[in-house]
Amino acid sequence: MNIKNHEIIHEISRGAITTVYKAQHLNLNRTVILKVLNPQWLREQDLLKRFKREARISAHLQHPNIVNVYDFHISPDLVYISLEYVEGGTLEQLIHEKQPLALPQIISIVRDTLKALDYAHGKGVIHRDIKPGNILIDSNFTARLTDFGLASFQDMPGVTAQGQSMGTPAYMPPELIRGEKAGIQSDLYSLGLTLYEMLCGTNPFQKENTAATLQAVLSEEAADIASLRPEAPRLLTDMTRQLMARAPQERPPNAAVLLQQIEKTEAPATDSPAAKKKSPYWLPGFGVLLIAVLFYFILFTPRQEEQAVPPETLSSVQDSVPPAPATDNKQPAEKSGPRQSPIKTADNSPPVTLPSGPSPTETELPATGSIYVSCSPWAKVLLDGDSVDVTPLKQALELTPGTHRLELINPNYKSESFTVNIVAGKKDTLNVRLRPNFAYLMIKATPWARIYINDKYKEDTPLKQALIVPAGRNIIRLVNPALGTITDTLSVRAGERLEKHFRFAR
């Protein structure tokens, strides 16, 4: 089974809204996760907006503790997001399989998640759905935050998927249940519930239905951690209590403060799940003594080779060997060890052997070449007509040798396309600055109006700043519920700045 240029390896999960597959990208030979919108939802604009939002927000987030989104595709009969494949499972699965989680593991996961949130919040992004199911644990036991489908920039309105609350009920902070705006403290509250679940094995507010769950979040107190996990350190119990405070202002101000608390805590066993043991006090001194003894023997013990071959003979041998060409790429050693080439000396003394590398015929040429694409501002990258990634790229694109077509697309800028010739083993770089394809339009309306550009609502007057409109022909519609509608057509050029004043007749 293929979906566009992806070969499906197997289905991972099937939900009411999306189906998730493990897949192989055929052009890039890259394993990915495909999150595909189920067919019955293809006409639901809220869900399409959610998919676009997740891809575009994630394109701004490049961090080792955040799962990378490569690409998204929206057409009348197919909608999907392509994400980085992480070998491992979710924290939710880990809690169910390994309960109780070891305390060093819990601290490692919390630390990684705080790093991801500190970075995302610094970029102005609020996740709004922190929970164990949205935290992946990879094969190195690194926590990776994923699923930014409900995320938003702090200055943007949110999107609610069809039939869903804003977030997962059992992890929703009280202020979101009351309809208030999400902020940094909202994510921290949800992380507090996740931490509680790691410690105690259960969410304290999960009930038989959504209404009961939301009521529990608003009115019930969680069971004391000390009664469920007596050995839990004070660092974790205090942190959980701070994060789960009902009032946002009573929670920590940001993730960085909590990271500092973890780093300041002297707990060698909490550095990682496989913590290093403290060395005995005598080991450092013993190591210094051992190094000194070895140094003495190296300096003052004659070498067998120096006794067997006179200095002038070694010099002539070394001069006869051509220097190895400089290279940046280290060749891996053969399993059998380096081959030795015997060289006879002038006085028939025992032969001297010098290492020799593989012959030219033994060196295999790489099967692919690569190109790194840098674009300002961001752009969707199309390879031979297939969408493959969004800049900034995490790594260069590995391509088969030959000619390829690259396109860079940003809806507010003029698209650029290039023909590139990929050579096996060669690394190339393409740096592009896109040219604006929009204009600035300041609209004033008397007395006031709701502004629609090309049938899309923008905002109400008075405007704080000019609107960005695409170059070309635009239909402007102003609506005042009491005074009616004004419609106008306006053609603008890229880079142009215009001001229009409209007056409603009373």
Active site residues: 129
Token couple for 458: 């923008």
Strand, coil or helix: 135: strand
> Alpha-carbon distance 478 to 474, whole Å?
13
Give the angle subtended at the CA of 445 by the CAs of 442 and 450, to the nearest 5°.
90
Beta-carbon contacts of 208 under 8 Å, excluding residues fewer than 6 positions away, are none
> Alpha-carbon distance 289 to 284, whole Å?
9
212 phi, psi to nearest 5 deg: -65, -35
User: Residue by residue, what is the 3-state secondary structure of 255-321?
Assistant: HHHHHHHHHHCCCHHHCCCCCCCCCCCCHHHHHHHHHHHHHHHHHHCCCHHHHHCCHHHHHHHHHHC
> Alpha-carbon distance 186 to 204, whole Å?
17
Token couple for 177: 């249940």
Nearest C-alpha neighbor of 171 from the set 113, 221, 244, 257: 244
DSSP string, 330-367: PPPPPTT--EEEEE--TT-PSPEEEEE---GGGPPPPS
Cβ(148)–Cβ(58) below 8 Å:
yes
> What burial class does residue 262 get, using C-beta atoms within 10 Å of its C-beta: 0-12 exposed, 13-18 middle, 19+ buried?
middle
Distance of CA 217 to the CA centre of its chain: 30
Strand, coil or helix: 194: helix
Token couple for 107: 């601290």
User: Residue by residue, what is the 3-state secondary structure of 207-272?
Assistant: CCCHHHHHHHHHHCCCCCHHHHCCCCCHHHHHHHHHHCCCCHHHCCCCHHHHHHHHHHCCCHHHCC
How many other CB atoms are there within 10 angstroms of residue 209's CB atom? Answer: 9
Strand order in the sheet with 427-433: 397-399, 369-376, 427-433
